[in-house]
């Protein structure tokens, strides 16, 4: 058993159109302490928002922790749990079919964070009554509707191979 502090994180992302304005929400819990986080970008994708939620939450941790991260994103959970992202990185951000892996900028950050923290990914069904998932959904949708959203620094408009 790890001597690291155990933090529970719930995340969600939302996009009003895909691509479109997007938002993310996260809840971090350690013991009786809780912190909510949210943010968004004016043009992005739903998958990027799911990933930004996890990145923002993990980057908020000030020291290495044991983390259980709950997400309703199969893309995020499988990308880390099944080792897809590690394989893509090892292959120069190319997938097995030789097409470019999307969102390499965010996968790189996530993989780096998973080297700092002991992260266990857990999938939860979205919109199925899980209170923390529902709260993150509200946070992410509100963030997507905020005025004056910044640009997503890694999102490229154009064909999917550039995103």
Mind listing the pLDDT tens digit for each residue in 16-74?
Answer: 999 999 999 999 999 999 999 999 999 999 999 999 999 999 999 999 999 999 999 99
> What string of DSSP letters covers 20-79?
EEEEEEEEEEETTEEEEEEEEEEEE-HHHHHHHHHHHHHHT-SS--EEEEEES-HHHHHH
pLDDT digits (tens, 9 = 90+) for 72-106: 999 999 999 999 999 999 999 999 999 999 999 99
**Contact (CB, 8 A) for 29 and 78:** no
Residue with tokens 């939450």: 57
pLDDT at 114: 98
Cis geometry, peptide bond prior to residue 19 (ω within 30 degrees of 0): yes
Q: Are 68 and 75 in contact (CB under 8 A)?
A: no
Mean pLDDT on 110-114: 98
| Active-site residue set | 12-13, 50, 72, 127, 137
* Contacts of 144 by beta carbon, 8 Å cutoff, 6+ apart: 14, 15, 16, 20, 21, 22, 23, 40, 49
**Residue ranges per structural domain of the chain:** 6-162
CATH number (3.50.50.60, 3.30.420.10, 3.30.56.10, 3.30.70.980) of 6-162 reads 3.30.420.10
């Amino acid at each position: 058993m790890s001597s690291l502090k155990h933090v529970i994180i719930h995340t969600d992302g939302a996009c009003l159109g895909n691509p479109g304005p997007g938002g993310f929400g996260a809840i971090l819990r350690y013991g009786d302490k809780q912190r909510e986080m949210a943010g968004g970008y004016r043009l992005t994708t739903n998958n990027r928002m799911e990933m930004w939620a996890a990145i923002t939450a993990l980057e908020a941790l000030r020291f290495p922790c044991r983390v259980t991260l709950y997400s309703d994103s199969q893309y995020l959970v499988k990308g880390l749990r099944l080792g897809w992202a590690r394989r893509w990185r090892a292959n120069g951000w190319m997938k097995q079919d030789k097409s470019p892996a999307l969102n390499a900028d965010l996968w790189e950050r996530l993989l780096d964070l998973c080297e700092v923290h002991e992260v266990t990914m857990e999938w939860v069904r979205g919109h199925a009554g899980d209170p923390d998932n529902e709260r993150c959904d509200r946070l992410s949708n509100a963030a997507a509707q905020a005025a004056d959203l910044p640009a997503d620094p890694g999102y490229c408009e154009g064909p999917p191979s550039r995103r």
